[in-house]
Amino acid sequence: MSNSTIPPALYFAVCLNNEGYPASLEVGRLYRVIPDEKAAAHGYIRVIDESGEDYAYSTERFYPIALPQAVEQTLLFASEKLAV
């Protein structure tokens, strides 16, 4: 799977490159992906970064991660609770 084409069903991606964004992204960290077809059409992925806000970054900075459904649901639930 190419990291330039992130399937919309994947909700998490790991950061591979934070060059230029050291305060916003941490290499090796798992980020929640926010589906955004418009961003994806231009080679971007929208994630909730270290600021707690969602921003679009180049897909080249991330690798999509397929997680077991139970793990994905737990992480999604936890991230939604943090957003409140």
pLDDT at 11 (0 to 100): 87
Give pLDDT < 70 ranges for the chain: 1-10, 81-84
pLDDT at 1 (0 to 100): 41
Q: Is 1 part of a structural domain of the chain?
A: no
Q: What is the CATH number of the domain that holds 55?
A: 2.30.30
Q: Is 7 part of a structural domain of the chain?
A: no
pLDDT at 82 (0 to 100): 66
pLDDT at 55 (0 to 100): 97
Q: Is 3 part of a structural domain of the chain?
A: no
Residues of the chain with pLDDT > 70, as a percent, come to 83
pLDDT at 2 (0 to 100): 45
- DSSP H stretches of helix in the chain: 37-41, 69-83
Task: Supply angle C-alpha 15, 17, 20, rounded to 5.
Answer: 120
pLDDT at 29 (0 to 100): 96
Task: Supply angle C-alpha 17, 21, 27, rounded to 5.
Answer: 35
Q: Is 65 part of a structural domain of the chain?
A: yes
Domain that holds residue 74: 12-83
